[in-house]
Structure 1
Protein backbone atom coordinates (compact mmCIF):
# COMPACT_ATOMS: atom_id res chain seq x y z
CA UNK A 1 0.00 0.00 0.00
CA UNK A 2 1.15 3.54 -0.73
CA UNK A 3 2.17 5.95 1.96
CA UNK A 4 -0.19 8.68 3.11
CA UNK A 5 0.62 12.35 3.51
CA UNK A 6 1.13 11.91 7.26
CA UNK A 7 3.72 9.19 6.65
CA UNK A 8 5.74 11.44 4.35
CA UNK A 9 5.50 14.33 6.83
CA UNK A 10 6.67 12.11 9.69
CA UNK A 11 9.61 10.83 7.64
CA UNK A 12 10.54 14.40 6.76
CA UNK A 13 10.37 15.43 10.42
CA UNK A 14 12.49 12.44 11.47
CA UNK A 15 15.14 13.26 8.88
CA UNK A 16 15.21 16.87 10.04
CA UNK A 17 15.51 15.78 13.67
CA UNK A 18 18.77 14.02 12.86
CA UNK A 19 20.21 17.28 11.50
CA UNK A 20 19.31 19.65 14.36
CA UNK A 21 19.15 19.92 18.11
CA UNK A 22 15.83 18.91 19.63
CA UNK A 23 14.11 18.76 22.99
CA UNK A 24 14.13 15.51 24.94
CA UNK A 25 10.94 13.44 24.78
CA UNK A 26 10.09 13.18 28.47
CA UNK A 27 6.33 13.89 28.60
CA UNK A 28 4.02 10.88 28.57
CA UNK A 29 0.27 10.29 28.52
CA UNK A 30 -0.41 11.12 32.18
CA UNK A 31 1.58 14.36 32.10
CA UNK A 32 -0.10 15.32 28.83
CA UNK A 33 -3.57 14.90 30.35
CA UNK A 34 -2.51 16.96 33.38
CA UNK A 35 -1.13 19.67 31.11
CA UNK A 36 -4.33 20.04 29.07
CA UNK A 37 -6.63 19.99 32.09
CA UNK A 38 -4.38 22.34 34.05
CA UNK A 39 -4.25 24.79 31.15
CA UNK A 40 -8.01 24.78 30.56
CA UNK A 41 -9.32 24.82 34.13
CA UNK A 42 -8.90 28.21 35.73
CA UNK A 43 -10.91 31.25 36.70
CA UNK A 44 -13.11 30.85 33.62
CA UNK A 45 -15.37 28.28 35.28
CA UNK A 46 -16.08 30.83 38.05
CA UNK A 47 -16.64 33.78 35.69
CA UNK A 48 -18.29 32.34 32.57
CA UNK A 49 -21.42 30.78 34.18
CA UNK A 50 -22.74 34.29 34.81
CA UNK A 51 -22.41 35.26 31.14
CA UNK A 52 -23.74 31.96 29.79
CA UNK A 53 -26.83 32.12 32.00
CA UNK A 54 -27.37 35.81 31.30
CA UNK A 55 -27.39 35.41 27.52
CA UNK A 56 -29.46 32.23 27.85
CA UNK A 57 -32.15 34.45 29.41
CA UNK A 58 -31.97 32.49 32.69
CA UNK A 59 -33.05 29.34 30.83
CA UNK A 60 -31.34 26.55 32.79
CA UNK A 61 -31.78 23.93 30.06
CA UNK A 62 -30.34 26.16 27.35
CA UNK A 63 -27.40 27.15 29.57
CA UNK A 64 -26.45 23.54 30.36
CA UNK A 65 -26.87 22.61 26.68
CA UNK A 66 -24.49 25.41 25.70
CA UNK A 67 -21.90 24.22 28.23
CA UNK A 68 -22.12 20.73 26.72
CA UNK A 69 -21.92 22.05 23.15
CA UNK A 70 -18.88 24.19 24.05
CA UNK A 71 -17.17 21.05 25.32
CA UNK A 72 -17.95 19.19 22.08
CA UNK A 73 -16.68 22.11 19.96
CA UNK A 74 -13.48 22.28 22.02
CA UNK A 75 -12.99 18.53 21.63
CA UNK A 76 -13.39 18.78 17.85
CA UNK A 77 -10.88 21.62 17.70
CA UNK A 78 -8.45 19.72 19.93
CA UNK A 79 -8.70 16.64 17.69
CA UNK A 80 -7.87 18.79 14.65
CA UNK A 81 -4.84 20.10 16.50
CA UNK A 82 -3.96 16.55 17.53
CA UNK A 83 -3.84 15.57 13.86
CA UNK A 84 -1.45 18.43 13.19
CA UNK A 85 0.61 17.47 16.23
CA UNK A 86 0.97 13.85 15.15
CA UNK A 87 1.87 14.83 11.58
CA UNK A 88 4.32 17.56 12.68
CA UNK A 89 5.47 16.78 16.25
CA UNK A 90 7.47 20.00 16.63
CA UNK A 91 7.59 22.57 19.42
CA UNK A 92 6.05 25.96 18.71
CA UNK A 93 2.43 25.02 18.15
CA UNK A 94 0.72 27.15 15.51
CA UNK A 95 3.98 28.85 14.55
CA UNK A 96 5.52 25.57 13.37
CA UNK A 97 2.36 24.58 11.50
CA UNK A 98 1.95 27.95 9.77
CA UNK A 99 5.61 28.05 8.79
CA UNK A 100 5.42 24.53 7.34
CA UNK A 101 2.23 25.25 5.38
CA UNK A 102 2.46 28.94 4.41
CA UNK A 103 6.08 29.98 4.83
CA UNK A 104 8.14 32.20 7.10
CA UNK A 105 6.34 35.53 6.63
CA UNK A 106 2.87 34.42 7.84
CA UNK A 107 4.55 32.52 10.68
CA UNK A 108 6.47 35.65 11.69
CA UNK A 109 3.27 37.74 11.62
CA UNK A 110 1.56 35.18 13.82
CA UNK A 111 4.35 35.05 16.40
CA UNK A 112 4.64 38.86 16.40
CA UNK A 113 0.91 39.17 17.11
CA UNK A 114 1.14 36.46 19.76
CA UNK A 115 3.76 38.53 21.61
CA UNK A 116 0.92 40.92 22.51
CA UNK A 117 -2.17 38.70 22.72
CA UNK A 118 -0.81 35.79 24.74
CA UNK A 119 0.84 37.86 27.52
CA UNK A 120 -2.39 39.87 27.79
CA UNK A 121 -4.37 36.64 28.16
CA UNK A 122 -1.94 35.36 30.79
CA UNK A 123 -2.19 38.65 32.67
CA UNK A 124 -5.99 38.36 32.71
CA UNK A 125 -5.82 34.84 34.10
CA UNK A 126 -3.27 35.88 36.73
CA UNK A 127 -5.46 38.79 37.86
CA UNK A 128 -8.49 36.51 38.11
CA UNK A 129 -6.42 34.08 40.18
CA UNK A 130 -5.33 36.92 42.45
CA UNK A 131 -8.96 38.02 42.82
CA UNK A 132 -10.03 34.62 44.09
CA UNK A 133 -6.91 34.07 46.19
CA UNK A 134 -7.22 37.33 48.13
CA UNK A 135 -10.98 37.93 48.39
CA UNK A 136 -11.71 35.25 51.06
CA UNK A 137 -9.44 37.12 53.49
CA UNK A 138 -11.43 40.36 53.13
CA UNK A 139 -14.99 39.05 53.35
CA UNK A 140 -17.52 41.46 51.88
CA UNK A 141 -14.90 44.22 51.51
CA UNK A 142 -12.95 44.40 48.24
CA UNK A 143 -9.32 43.31 48.35
CA UNK A 144 -6.73 46.06 47.69
CA UNK A 145 -5.97 46.44 43.98
CA UNK A 146 -2.23 46.79 44.63
CA UNK A 147 -2.18 43.48 46.50
CA UNK A 148 -3.97 41.68 43.67
CA UNK A 149 -1.65 43.12 41.04
CA UNK A 150 1.48 42.25 43.04
CA UNK A 151 0.26 38.69 43.56
CA UNK A 152 -0.58 38.30 39.86
CA UNK A 153 2.86 39.60 38.90
CA UNK A 154 4.55 37.23 41.36
CA UNK A 155 2.64 34.27 39.89
CA UNK A 156 3.65 35.13 36.32
CA UNK A 157 7.30 35.62 37.28
CA UNK A 158 7.42 32.42 39.32
CA UNK A 159 5.92 30.30 36.54
CA UNK A 160 8.19 31.88 33.94
CA UNK A 161 11.33 31.19 35.99
CA UNK A 162 10.16 27.66 36.80
CA UNK A 163 9.53 26.76 33.15
CA UNK A 164 12.86 28.25 32.13
CA UNK A 165 14.88 26.29 34.70
CA UNK A 166 13.48 22.75 34.52
CA UNK A 167 10.93 20.97 32.34
CA UNK A 168 10.60 18.15 34.89
CA UNK A 169 10.00 20.53 37.78
CA UNK A 170 7.47 22.53 35.74
CA UNK A 171 5.66 19.30 34.83
CA UNK A 172 5.57 18.23 38.48
CA UNK A 173 4.17 21.59 39.60
CA UNK A 174 1.61 21.45 36.77
CA UNK A 175 0.50 18.01 37.97
CA UNK A 176 0.14 19.16 41.58
CA UNK A 177 -1.94 22.20 40.64
CA UNK A 178 -4.09 20.16 38.26
CA UNK A 179 -4.89 17.67 41.03
CA UNK A 180 -5.75 20.53 43.40
CA UNK A 181 -8.00 22.16 40.80
CA UNK A 182 -9.86 18.94 40.09
CA UNK A 183 -10.24 18.24 43.81
CA UNK A 184 -11.78 21.69 44.29
CA UNK A 185 -14.16 21.21 41.36
CA UNK A 186 -15.05 17.74 42.67
CA UNK A 187 -15.96 19.10 46.10
CA UNK A 188 -18.11 21.84 44.56
CA UNK A 189 -19.76 19.53 42.03
CA UNK A 190 -20.40 16.57 44.34
CA UNK A 191 -21.56 18.85 47.16
CA UNK A 192 -24.18 20.41 44.89
CA UNK A 193 -25.36 17.04 43.59
CA UNK A 194 -25.75 15.75 47.16
CA UNK A 195 -27.81 18.80 48.10
CA UNK A 196 -29.95 18.23 45.02
CA UNK A 197 -30.49 14.56 45.88
CA UNK A 198 -31.44 15.49 49.45
CA UNK A 199 -34.41 17.22 47.90
CA UNK A 200 -34.56 20.99 47.90
CA UNK A 201 -37.97 21.27 46.24
CA UNK A 202 -37.35 24.64 44.60
CA UNK A 203 -34.13 23.34 43.06
CA UNK A 204 -35.70 20.12 41.79
CA UNK A 205 -38.43 22.14 40.08
CA UNK A 206 -35.73 24.32 38.50
CA UNK A 207 -34.22 21.30 36.73
CA UNK A 208 -37.52 19.55 35.99
CA UNK A 209 -38.71 22.67 34.14
CA UNK A 210 -35.28 23.43 32.69
CA UNK A 211 -36.57 24.72 29.32
CA UNK A 212 -39.68 26.49 30.62
CA UNK A 213 -38.14 29.98 30.51
CA UNK A 214 -37.90 32.20 27.45
CA UNK A 215 -35.74 30.81 24.63
CA UNK A 216 -32.92 33.19 23.55
CA UNK A 217 -32.54 34.30 19.94
CA UNK A 218 -29.59 33.46 17.68
CA UNK A 219 -27.49 36.49 18.65
CA UNK A 220 -27.92 35.79 22.36
CA UNK A 221 -27.03 32.12 21.89
CA UNK A 222 -23.90 33.17 19.99
CA UNK A 223 -22.89 35.47 22.86
CA UNK A 224 -23.55 32.67 25.36
CA UNK A 225 -21.27 30.38 23.33
CA UNK A 226 -18.58 33.05 23.38
CA UNK A 227 -18.81 33.20 27.18
CA UNK A 228 -18.74 29.41 27.53
CA UNK A 229 -15.85 28.83 25.14
CA UNK A 230 -13.72 31.23 27.18
CA UNK A 231 -13.78 28.71 30.05
CA UNK A 232 -12.52 25.99 27.67
CA UNK A 233 -9.61 28.10 26.43
CA UNK A 234 -6.38 26.11 26.32
CA UNK A 235 -7.58 22.98 24.48
CA UNK A 236 -4.95 23.74 21.82
CA UNK A 237 -2.05 23.88 24.28
CA UNK A 238 -0.62 20.36 23.92
CA UNK A 239 0.84 21.07 20.47
CA UNK A 240 3.28 23.56 22.00
CA UNK A 241 5.10 20.63 23.56
CA UNK A 242 4.56 18.02 20.84
CA UNK A 243 8.31 17.73 20.36
CA UNK A 244 8.65 16.69 24.02
CA UNK A 245 5.91 14.04 23.89
CA UNK A 246 6.85 10.36 24.09
CA UNK A 247 5.33 8.57 21.09
CA UNK A 248 3.31 11.63 19.96
CA UNK A 249 1.32 9.76 17.30
CA UNK A 250 -0.29 7.69 20.06
CA UNK A 251 -0.18 9.93 23.13
CA UNK A 252 -1.42 13.22 21.65
CA UNK A 253 -4.83 11.90 20.47
CA UNK A 254 -5.31 9.77 23.58
CA UNK A 255 -4.58 12.66 25.95
CA UNK A 256 -7.05 14.87 24.09
CA UNK A 257 -9.76 12.18 24.20
CA UNK A 258 -9.24 11.86 27.96
CA UNK A 259 -8.82 15.49 29.01
CA UNK A 260 -11.61 17.27 27.10
CA UNK A 261 -14.48 14.91 28.08
CA UNK A 262 -13.26 15.04 31.70
CA UNK A 263 -13.26 18.85 31.72
CA UNK A 264 -16.72 18.95 30.12
CA UNK A 265 -18.11 16.56 32.74
CA UNK A 266 -16.65 18.54 35.64
CA UNK A 267 -17.91 21.83 34.20
CA UNK A 268 -21.44 20.43 33.94
CA UNK A 269 -21.30 19.17 37.53
CA UNK A 270 -20.06 22.53 38.78
CA UNK A 271 -22.79 24.42 36.91
CA UNK A 272 -25.44 22.08 38.28
CA UNK A 273 -24.00 22.71 41.74
CA UNK A 274 -24.19 26.49 41.23
CA UNK A 275 -27.83 26.18 40.16
CA UNK A 276 -28.57 24.00 43.17
CA UNK A 277 -27.19 26.51 45.66
CA UNK A 278 -28.15 29.76 43.89
CA UNK A 279 -31.06 30.88 41.76
CA UNK A 280 -30.35 31.96 38.15
CA UNK A 281 -31.03 35.58 39.11
CA UNK A 282 -28.50 35.40 41.95
CA UNK A 283 -25.88 33.95 39.61
CA UNK A 284 -26.45 36.63 36.96
CA UNK A 285 -26.32 39.44 39.53
CA UNK A 286 -22.82 38.36 40.62
CA UNK A 287 -19.63 39.18 38.70
CA UNK A 288 -17.79 36.32 40.45
CA UNK A 289 -19.27 33.15 41.86
CA UNK A 290 -17.85 32.81 45.32
CA UNK A 291 -19.15 32.34 48.82
CA UNK A 292 -19.68 29.60 51.37
CA UNK A 293 -22.45 27.02 51.25
CA UNK A 294 -23.23 24.41 53.86
CA UNK A 295 -22.99 20.83 52.59
CA UNK A 296 -23.05 17.40 54.28
CA UNK A 297 -19.26 17.68 54.68
CA UNK A 298 -19.17 21.19 56.12
CA UNK A 299 -18.52 24.44 54.30
CA UNK A 300 -17.69 24.46 50.60
CA UNK A 301 -16.07 27.46 48.96
CA UNK A 302 -17.88 28.34 45.70
Structure 2
Protein backbone atom coordinates (compact mmCIF):
# COMPACT_ATOMS: atom_id res chain seq x y z
CA UNK A 1 0.00 0.00 0.00
CA UNK A 2 1.53 3.29 -1.07
CA UNK A 3 0.84 6.58 0.72
CA UNK A 4 1.51 10.12 -0.38
CA UNK A 5 2.19 12.28 2.70
CA UNK A 6 1.50 15.97 3.20
CA UNK A 7 2.63 18.20 6.09
CA UNK A 8 0.05 20.02 8.18
CA UNK A 9 0.33 23.22 10.20
CA UNK A 10 1.03 21.22 13.38
CA UNK A 11 3.81 19.26 11.73
CA UNK A 12 1.73 16.09 11.52
CA UNK A 13 1.87 13.81 8.51
CA UNK A 14 -1.43 13.01 6.84
CA UNK A 15 -2.33 10.75 3.94
CA UNK A 16 -3.38 12.67 0.87
CA UNK A 17 -3.95 9.67 -1.33
CA UNK A 18 -4.04 5.98 -0.66
CA UNK A 19 -3.80 3.28 -3.26
CA UNK A 20 -6.41 0.60 -2.93
CA UNK A 21 -5.04 -2.90 -2.47
CA UNK A 22 -7.02 -5.25 -4.69
CA UNK A 23 -6.74 -8.68 -6.25
CA UNK A 24 -5.37 -8.80 -9.77
CA UNK A 25 -8.09 -9.19 -12.39
CA UNK A 26 -7.27 -12.41 -14.26
CA UNK A 27 -10.70 -13.78 -15.27
CA UNK A 28 -12.22 -12.45 -18.47
CA UNK A 29 -15.80 -12.57 -19.69
CA UNK A 30 -15.40 -15.89 -21.54
CA UNK A 31 -13.63 -17.48 -18.59
CA UNK A 32 -16.23 -16.15 -16.15
CA UNK A 33 -19.09 -17.68 -18.14
CA UNK A 34 -17.15 -20.95 -18.45
CA UNK A 35 -16.50 -20.89 -14.72
CA UNK A 36 -20.23 -20.84 -13.95
CA UNK A 37 -21.11 -23.39 -16.63
CA UNK A 38 -18.25 -25.67 -15.59
CA UNK A 39 -19.39 -25.77 -11.98
CA UNK A 40 -23.08 -26.22 -12.81
CA UNK A 41 -22.24 -29.00 -15.28
CA UNK A 42 -20.29 -30.90 -12.66
CA UNK A 43 -21.23 -34.26 -11.19
CA UNK A 44 -24.87 -33.32 -10.55
CA UNK A 45 -26.14 -33.56 -14.11
CA UNK A 46 -24.69 -37.07 -14.37
CA UNK A 47 -26.15 -38.46 -11.13
CA UNK A 48 -29.30 -36.43 -10.38
CA UNK A 49 -31.63 -37.39 -13.28
CA UNK A 50 -32.01 -40.93 -11.97
CA UNK A 51 -32.73 -39.63 -8.47
CA UNK A 52 -35.34 -37.13 -9.68
CA UNK A 53 -37.15 -39.83 -11.65
CA UNK A 54 -36.92 -42.33 -8.79
CA UNK A 55 -38.33 -39.96 -6.17
CA UNK A 56 -41.01 -38.92 -8.67
CA UNK A 57 -42.11 -42.56 -8.53
CA UNK A 58 -41.15 -43.02 -12.18
CA UNK A 59 -43.79 -40.47 -13.18
CA UNK A 60 -42.20 -38.78 -16.21
CA UNK A 61 -44.55 -35.78 -16.19
CA UNK A 62 -43.92 -35.01 -12.52
CA UNK A 63 -40.17 -35.40 -13.02
CA UNK A 64 -40.20 -32.92 -15.92
CA UNK A 65 -42.22 -30.43 -13.88
CA UNK A 66 -39.73 -30.70 -11.01
CA UNK A 67 -36.83 -30.10 -13.40
CA UNK A 68 -38.60 -27.01 -14.78
CA UNK A 69 -39.34 -25.67 -11.29
CA UNK A 70 -35.72 -26.22 -10.20
CA UNK A 71 -34.59 -24.33 -13.29
CA UNK A 72 -36.84 -21.37 -12.49
CA UNK A 73 -35.64 -21.23 -8.87
CA UNK A 74 -32.01 -21.41 -9.98
CA UNK A 75 -32.55 -18.64 -12.52
CA UNK A 76 -34.08 -16.37 -9.86
CA UNK A 77 -31.16 -17.07 -7.56
CA UNK A 78 -28.65 -16.39 -10.34
CA UNK A 79 -30.32 -13.05 -11.14
CA UNK A 80 -30.14 -12.05 -7.46
CA UNK A 81 -26.46 -12.92 -7.34
CA UNK A 82 -25.81 -11.02 -10.55
CA UNK A 83 -27.28 -7.95 -8.85
CA UNK A 84 -25.22 -8.55 -5.70
CA UNK A 85 -22.05 -9.10 -7.71
CA UNK A 86 -22.39 -5.85 -9.61
CA UNK A 87 -23.37 -3.91 -6.48
CA UNK A 88 -20.59 -5.35 -4.29
CA UNK A 89 -17.71 -6.41 -6.61
CA UNK A 90 -15.70 -8.09 -3.87
CA UNK A 91 -14.60 -11.70 -3.44
CA UNK A 92 -16.13 -13.92 -0.80
CA UNK A 93 -19.65 -14.61 -2.04
CA UNK A 94 -22.09 -15.37 0.77
CA UNK A 95 -19.44 -14.71 3.42
CA UNK A 96 -19.02 -11.13 2.25
CA UNK A 97 -22.78 -10.53 1.99
CA UNK A 98 -23.53 -12.04 5.42
CA UNK A 99 -20.73 -10.04 7.00
CA UNK A 100 -21.97 -6.83 5.42
CA UNK A 101 -25.59 -7.46 6.39
CA UNK A 102 -25.47 -9.38 9.67
CA UNK A 103 -21.99 -8.89 11.06
CA UNK A 104 -18.77 -10.82 11.53
CA UNK A 105 -19.97 -13.64 13.80
CA UNK A 106 -22.68 -15.09 11.46
CA UNK A 107 -20.24 -14.70 8.55
CA UNK A 108 -17.53 -16.52 10.51
CA UNK A 109 -19.89 -19.38 11.35
CA UNK A 110 -21.01 -19.66 7.74
CA UNK A 111 -17.42 -19.64 6.46
CA UNK A 112 -16.17 -22.35 8.80
CA UNK A 113 -19.25 -24.49 8.16
CA UNK A 114 -18.38 -24.36 4.47
CA UNK A 115 -14.67 -25.00 5.05
CA UNK A 116 -15.18 -27.95 7.42
CA UNK A 117 -18.32 -29.60 6.04
CA UNK A 118 -20.02 -28.32 2.87
CA UNK A 119 -16.95 -27.60 0.76
CA UNK A 120 -15.13 -30.90 1.41
CA UNK A 121 -18.34 -32.89 0.85
CA UNK A 122 -19.04 -31.29 -2.54
CA UNK A 123 -15.39 -31.58 -3.58
CA UNK A 124 -15.37 -35.26 -2.61
CA UNK A 125 -18.52 -36.01 -4.63
CA UNK A 126 -17.11 -34.25 -7.70
CA UNK A 127 -13.73 -35.99 -7.40
CA UNK A 128 -15.30 -39.42 -6.95
CA UNK A 129 -17.59 -38.95 -9.96
CA UNK A 130 -14.65 -37.82 -12.09
CA UNK A 131 -12.62 -40.82 -10.92
CA UNK A 132 -15.56 -43.13 -11.69
CA UNK A 133 -15.67 -42.06 -15.33
CA UNK A 134 -11.89 -41.72 -15.71
CA UNK A 135 -11.00 -45.14 -14.28
CA UNK A 136 -13.85 -47.28 -15.65
CA UNK A 137 -12.46 -47.53 -19.25
CA UNK A 138 -9.44 -49.39 -17.83
CA UNK A 139 -11.73 -52.11 -16.42
CA UNK A 140 -14.03 -53.12 -19.30
CA UNK A 141 -16.74 -55.58 -18.40
CA UNK A 142 -16.45 -55.18 -14.63
CA UNK A 143 -16.75 -52.42 -12.01
CA UNK A 144 -13.58 -50.54 -11.19
CA UNK A 145 -12.08 -51.35 -7.76
CA UNK A 146 -13.15 -48.91 -5.07
CA UNK A 147 -9.57 -48.45 -3.83
CA UNK A 148 -8.39 -47.31 -7.26
CA UNK A 149 -11.32 -44.90 -7.64
CA UNK A 150 -10.64 -43.38 -4.23
CA UNK A 151 -6.92 -43.08 -4.97
CA UNK A 152 -7.68 -41.37 -8.29
CA UNK A 153 -10.10 -38.99 -6.58
CA UNK A 154 -7.48 -38.04 -3.97
CA UNK A 155 -4.91 -37.48 -6.72
CA UNK A 156 -7.32 -35.21 -8.63
CA UNK A 157 -8.02 -33.10 -5.52
CA UNK A 158 -4.28 -32.73 -4.78
CA UNK A 159 -3.38 -31.84 -8.38
CA UNK A 160 -6.17 -29.27 -8.76
CA UNK A 161 -5.32 -27.79 -5.37
CA UNK A 162 -1.65 -27.39 -6.29
CA UNK A 163 -2.51 -25.76 -9.63
CA UNK A 164 -4.88 -23.36 -7.84
CA UNK A 165 -2.09 -22.36 -5.47
CA UNK A 166 0.51 -21.91 -8.20
CA UNK A 167 -1.38 -19.81 -10.73
CA UNK A 168 -5.00 -18.72 -11.04
CA UNK A 169 -4.69 -18.31 -14.80
CA UNK A 170 -3.67 -21.95 -15.24
CA UNK A 171 -6.72 -23.29 -13.45
CA UNK A 172 -8.96 -20.93 -15.42
CA UNK A 173 -7.52 -22.29 -18.68
CA UNK A 174 -8.04 -25.88 -17.54
CA UNK A 175 -11.60 -25.00 -16.53
CA UNK A 176 -12.27 -23.54 -19.97
CA UNK A 177 -10.95 -26.64 -21.76
CA UNK A 178 -12.95 -29.09 -19.65
CA UNK A 179 -16.08 -26.95 -19.93
CA UNK A 180 -15.88 -26.97 -23.73
CA UNK A 181 -15.47 -30.76 -23.67
CA UNK A 182 -18.45 -31.23 -21.34
CA UNK A 183 -20.63 -28.86 -23.37
CA UNK A 184 -19.73 -30.76 -26.56
CA UNK A 185 -20.65 -34.13 -25.03
CA UNK A 186 -23.89 -32.88 -23.49
CA UNK A 187 -24.85 -31.09 -26.72
CA UNK A 188 -24.40 -34.36 -28.59
CA UNK A 189 -26.67 -36.11 -26.07
CA UNK A 190 -29.33 -33.38 -26.34
CA UNK A 191 -29.24 -33.38 -30.14
CA UNK A 192 -29.51 -37.18 -30.19
CA UNK A 193 -32.56 -36.96 -27.94
CA UNK A 194 -34.21 -34.35 -30.15
CA UNK A 195 -33.58 -36.48 -33.24
CA UNK A 196 -34.96 -39.52 -31.39
CA UNK A 197 -38.17 -37.61 -30.61
CA UNK A 198 -38.39 -36.24 -34.16
CA UNK A 199 -38.38 -39.81 -35.46
CA UNK A 200 -41.60 -40.45 -33.56
CA UNK A 201 -40.26 -42.18 -30.48
CA UNK A 202 -42.57 -40.39 -28.05
CA UNK A 203 -44.13 -43.37 -26.28
CA UNK A 204 -42.71 -42.27 -22.91
CA UNK A 205 -44.39 -38.87 -23.24
CA UNK A 206 -47.80 -39.99 -24.51
CA UNK A 207 -48.88 -40.94 -20.98
CA UNK A 208 -46.43 -38.79 -19.07
CA UNK A 209 -48.62 -38.33 -15.99
CA UNK A 210 -49.85 -41.89 -15.78
CA UNK A 211 -48.67 -43.73 -12.72
CA UNK A 212 -48.31 -43.04 -9.04
CA UNK A 213 -48.19 -39.47 -7.72
CA UNK A 214 -45.29 -38.86 -5.30
CA UNK A 215 -45.95 -37.63 -1.78
CA UNK A 216 -44.70 -34.41 -0.24
CA UNK A 217 -41.55 -36.03 1.15
CA UNK A 218 -40.73 -37.65 -2.19
CA UNK A 219 -41.26 -34.37 -4.04
CA UNK A 220 -38.89 -32.71 -1.59
CA UNK A 221 -36.27 -35.39 -2.24
CA UNK A 222 -36.72 -34.95 -5.99
CA UNK A 223 -36.32 -31.18 -5.64
CA UNK A 224 -33.11 -31.71 -3.68
CA UNK A 225 -31.74 -33.90 -6.46
CA UNK A 226 -32.73 -31.37 -9.12
CA UNK A 227 -31.31 -28.37 -7.26
CA UNK A 228 -28.04 -30.26 -6.76
CA UNK A 229 -27.76 -30.63 -10.53
CA UNK A 230 -28.42 -26.89 -11.03
CA UNK A 231 -26.07 -25.90 -8.20
CA UNK A 232 -23.20 -23.60 -9.06
CA UNK A 233 -24.93 -20.45 -10.31
CA UNK A 234 -23.50 -18.56 -7.30
CA UNK A 235 -19.83 -19.49 -7.69
CA UNK A 236 -18.69 -16.50 -9.75
CA UNK A 237 -19.39 -14.19 -6.81
CA UNK A 238 -16.64 -15.94 -4.86
CA UNK A 239 -14.06 -14.68 -7.35
CA UNK A 240 -15.85 -11.58 -8.66
CA UNK A 241 -12.88 -9.40 -7.77
CA UNK A 242 -10.77 -11.32 -10.28
CA UNK A 243 -13.25 -10.57 -13.07
CA UNK A 244 -12.22 -8.24 -15.87
CA UNK A 245 -14.58 -8.33 -18.84
CA UNK A 246 -12.35 -6.01 -20.84
CA UNK A 247 -9.63 -8.63 -21.32
CA UNK A 248 -11.64 -11.13 -23.37
TM-score by length of 1: 0.71
Which structure features the higher share of helix residues? Answer: 1
- How has the CA–CA distance of structure 1 residues 137 and 188 changed in structure 2, closer, same or farther, with 3 Å as cutoff? farther
- 1:78 equivalent to 2:71? Answer no
Matched positions, count: 228
* 1:184-225 residue CA offsets vs partner (Å, 9 max, x unmatched): 11112212222332334xxx1211221222222322212111
Map of 2:67 onto structure 1: 67
Q: Which has the higher contact order (CA 8 A, sep 6+)?
A: 2
* Matches for 1:1-302 after TM superposition, within 5 Å: 19-116=19-116, 117-200=118-201, 204-246=202-244
CA contact (8 A) 2:27 2:245 kept: no
Residue 19 of structure 1, CA deviation? 4.9
Larger Rg: 2
3-state SS, counterpart of residue 238 of structure 1:
helix
CA distance in 2, matches of 1:109, 1:20: 28
Unaligned runs of at least 5 residues, structure 2: 1-17
User: In structure 2, how many angstroms separate the alpha carbons of the residues matched to 1:79 and 1:107?
Assistant: 22
Find the aligned partners of 1:186 and 1:137 in 2 and give their Cα distance: 26
Distance between the aligned counterparts of 2:120 and 2:219, measured in 1? 29
Coordinate RMSD, CA, aligned: 1.8
Is the partner of 1:177 in helix, strand or coil? helix
User: For the Cα contact (< 8 Å) 2:56–2:63, is it kept in 1?
Assistant: yes
Which runs of 4 or more aligned residues in structure 1 lie more than 3 Å from their structure 2 counterparts after TM superposition?
A: none
TM-score (norm 2): 0.86
Q: Mind listing any 5+ residue stretches in structure 1 that lack a counterpart?
A: 1-17, 249-302
User: Once the two structures are superposed, what CA deviation does each residue of 1:46-79 show, in whole Å capped at 9, x if it has no partner?
Assistant: 2111110011111111111211111111111111
